[in-house]
Chain A
């Protein structure tokens, strides 16, 4: 069964460093998403991406975040200058169509980011 994959599973970085989290969505999916979950807290929506551009983003997704689909398979989240509060589990998800069309999202296993 097709699945969303994410790499790495765990990333440790120093404050101020740039990190890139990678995701490979399901191949025929067109919508891509990033979410984060700070330890012990709710999952939060960060951004959705369609047709090579951001379709929606939350207040959390500020200028230090960016997303890219550098090739036909990868979908990346970049954090330019990491802060301690960026430590969280980051989930990628993908769907065949947009939420308003009733398409279910499929989640990756997550990348645990630890900023020291």
Chain B
């Protein structure tokens, strides 16, 4: 069983739709990263959170430590949001990160 599971694996949306990507983890964590991987392969860090909720522009990330679950929401989605979104769990007392398999998001105009 993977330590970090994401759903859905693939997601297609129309421009303007509200998007939710889910991440569940089975390991103890000190923090969770949400990352965006562009078609060219580059990775950008979107959020790192260990509790509650963070917002940056149209992106919102939430985490429920008790349920070992995090969500990434995109409001008013746009074609430029098309990318692979990856959650990664930072293991406590170290710098090891365990990555989910990613959610491929395609936003159509």
Binding site for B on A (CB under 8 A): 31, 33, 35, 37, 41-45, 48, 55-56, 58, 89, 91, 98-100, 102, 104-107, 109-110, 112
**Which of A45, A91, A99, A107 has the most C-beta atoms of chain B within 10 angstroms of its own C-beta?**
A99
* Complex CA distance for A37 and B88, rounded to whole angstroms: 13
For A105, list chain B residues within 8 Å (CB). Answer: 33, 45, 48, 97
Q: With contacts A42-B101, A43-B86 known, is A98 near B41, CB below 8 A?
A: no
Is there contact, CB below 8 Å, between A110 and B43? yes
Main secondary structure of the interface of A (DSSP, over half): strand
Q: CB-defined interface of B21-41 with A at 8 Å, one 1/0 digit per residue?
A: 000000000110101000011
Is there contact, CB below 8 Å, between A42 and B99? yes
8 further A-B pairs in the complex, CB-CB below 8 A; given A35-B97, A55-B95, A107-B43: A42-B100, A43-B88, A99-B30, A99-B90, A100-B30, A100-B94, A109-B40, A112-B41
* Complex CA distance for A55 and B93, rounded to whole angstroms: 11
* Min C-beta distance of A74 to chain B, whole Å: 20
